[in-house]
Amino acid sequence: METIRVGKLTKKRKRSNIVDKEELLNRRRVCMNALLNRPWVSKEQDSQLYYWIKDNFTSLRDWFSNYTGYILILNGKLAKLEKVPEVAYPWMGFQEFREPLDYSLFTYCLWFLEAKSEQEQFLLTDLIKEVRDSMMESGIEVDWKNYYHRLSMARALKKLKSLQVIIAVDGTEADWASTDDKHDVLYESTHYSRYVFRNFTKELAGYIDMNQMKEIIDYGDSPEEQNSRKKHRLFRRYLIEPVVLDEEWQEDLFYFHGQKNNVINQIRMMFGWGGSKYREGILFFESDIVSEAEIFPTLASLSDLTLLVLGEIRQQPAVENIDEVSDQTHLYITRHHLERILIHLKEHYGEYWTNDHRKMKSSELAEQIFTHLMEWGFGQWEDNTLFALRAVAGKWVARYGAVELEV
């Protein structure tokens, strides 16, 4: 019989699922960007990302708490970062919503869902009855015979479906909204309805104004607490807003300048964004073309036109009396000036434009360009006639040209 020797292993076998440091850093950055840009990360919908967050939960939680004051929630269903902007802008709302009533109905639908358990089914007719009764008690007039009120409810329900707060089992709200006939819809509630609203540090009745509601932490009066407040303010704005320039940091200027390098290094390490210091301020750029966030230029054709306009302005810095009101960080333009630029660009590049933009009046297109510039922090209206274009807008230049594709 052959003797079998059993001895001690000289080396431990390594686990095959261990990843290197570079891969771990990349995973952490993916988690950070997803938490910052998504409402939440669902275990059911994206299990791999959910488990990456779970594996890095302590480091992710501690970083967000230390640098932003945000709270990271993790349970058996999802991971969610409680985000609150330091400065609220119109573009931060739901782009699908058109009226204030849309938000009211969205909120009252969530109130209705509080009494529903997970996977519990309910009818649209029951929902609209309870929502209307509750709103009427609060002094908010709503009438389902009004076509526009029904459209608002349809948009609110559609948003709830896109967030997967509710699931349409049978029927659509569009049929109910488009006709006076009684079209019913069968919905099913999910567990996400509990996580749409953020937690507040105190009762809503305890807030005096809206600015107080942006605070996630009750900061004390000690120097340490106030320094934390300043640091959180810095990081929140740079992480959420597309452009934040030095001119917006008039308060606590000394503290801000002392934190510039730290802000750049931390955001580069944790999110992978490239940060550079310019005379007008810090600008961050995402190196990857595919991003969790919507970045400029967007995929919309309006961004293409905006890039063309910025390039044209950069090539023509001296225009009618503009230099008289220019300063070191702004260039002031008028509606009339932008309309002339668009007319000029249309003559040269109109064949590349969308059909809607070609047919649009120059005044209407100019208004869309101005709105797009404001949404991305490139400028703002000083008064009814002058638009202050920030120097940061000069970082982009685009031209149409032939591109040869390799086959």
User: Tens of pLDDT along 295-313?
Assistant: 888 888 999 999 999 988 8
- What does the alpha-carbon distance between residue 388 and residue 132 come to, in Å, rounded to a whole number? 45
The reply to whether 311 and 390 lie within a common domain is: yes
Contact 123, 185 (CB under 8 A): yes
Final residue of a domain: which of 286, 314, 346? 286
Instruction: Report how far Cα 153 is from the mean position of its chain's Cα atoms.
Output: 23
Domain for residue 4, yes or no? no
Residue 346 has pLDDT above 70, yes or no: yes
Q: What is the bridge-based pairing of β-strands 281-286 and 186-189?
A: unpaired
* DSSP designation for 144: T
Among 26-35, 210-219, 259-268, the least confident range: 210-219
Q: Identify whether residues 174 and 101 lie together within a single domain.
A: yes
Q: Around Cβ 62, how many Cβ atoms within 10 Å?
A: 11
**pLDDT class of 14 with cuts at 50, 70, 90:** very low
Q: Which of 316 and 155 is assigned the larger pLDDT?
A: 155
pLDDT tens digit sequence for 232-265: 988 999 999 998 888 777 666 656 777 888 999 9
How many Å apart are CA 145 and CA 340, to the nearest integer?
A: 46
- Say which CATH number the domain at 357 has: 1.10.10
Same structural domain for residues 314 and 372? yes
pLDDT band with cut points at 50, 70 and 90 for residue 393: confident
195 Cβ neighbours under 8 A, 6+ residues apart: 39, 40, 73, 78, 80
* pLDDT score of 105: 96
The closest of 347, 297, 336, 338 to 316, measured between CA atoms, is 338
Model pLDDT, residue 322: 45
Nearest CA to 83 among 46, 28, 40, 26? Answer: 40
Q: Is 185 inside any structural domain?
A: yes
- Indicate whether 296 belongs to any domain: no
In angstroms, how far is CA 38 from the centroid of its own chain? 8
Measured between alpha carbons, how far is 364 from 346 in angstroms, rounded to an integer? 14
Residues of the domain holding 217: 207-286
Specify if 200 maps to a domain: no
Residue 348 lies in a domain: yes
- Of 134, 160, 194, which closes a domain? 194
pLDDT at position 375 over 70: yes
163-177, 181-195, 314-328: segment of lowest average pLDDT: 314-328
Higher-pLDDT residue of 57 and 5 is 57
Residue 405 has pLDDT above 60, yes or no: no
In a domain, 58, yes or no: yes
Q: Which residue matches tokens 């850093």? A: 25
The average pLDDT across 22-28 equals 92
Element (H, E) at 385: none
Residue after which a domain boundary falls, among 194, 224, 249: 194
DSSP 285-348: EES-SS-SS--SS-SSHHHHHHHHHHHHHHH----TTTGGG--SSEEEEEHHHHHHHHHHHHHH
- Cα–Cα dist 292/269, whole Å: 17
- Rounded-to-integer distance, Cα 29 and Cα 263, Å: 16
Opening angle at CA 244, ends 59 and 204, nearest 5 = 65
**Residue for token pair 């931390």:** 266
How much is the pLDDT for 218? 79
- Say yes or no: 329 and 385 in one domain: yes
Is 133 a domain residue?
yes
Cis peptide leading into 90, omega within 30 of 0?
no
Q: Is residue 401 a part of any domain in this protein? A: no
Structure confidence by residue, pLDDT tens digits, 198-215: 887 777 777 787 777 877
Confidence of residue 406 (pLDDT cuts 50, 70, 90): low
Q: Do both 377 and 348 map to the same domain?
A: yes
b/e code 341-370 from CB counts within 10 Å (16+ = b): bbeebbeeeeeebeeebeebebeebbeebb
Residue 3 banded pLDDT, cuts 50, 70, 90: very low
Cα–Cα distance, 84 to 240 (Å, whole number): 9
Tell whether 224 and 277 lie within a shared domain: yes
Tokens coding 335? 């509606």
CA gyration radius for the chain? 26
**Domain total for the chain?**
4
pLDDT reported for residue 111: 94
Same domain flag for 59 and 142: no
Q: Same domain for 329 and 263?
A: no
Answer yes or no: do 78 and 95 share one domain. no
- Mean pLDDT, rounded, of the chain: 85
Q: Which is more confidently placed, 279 or 374? A: 374
Q: What average pLDDT does this structure show over 82-92?
A: 88
Task: Tell me the average pLDDT across 39-63.
Answer: 95
pLDDT grade for 281, boundaries at 50, 70 and 90: confident
d(CA 320, CA 326): 12
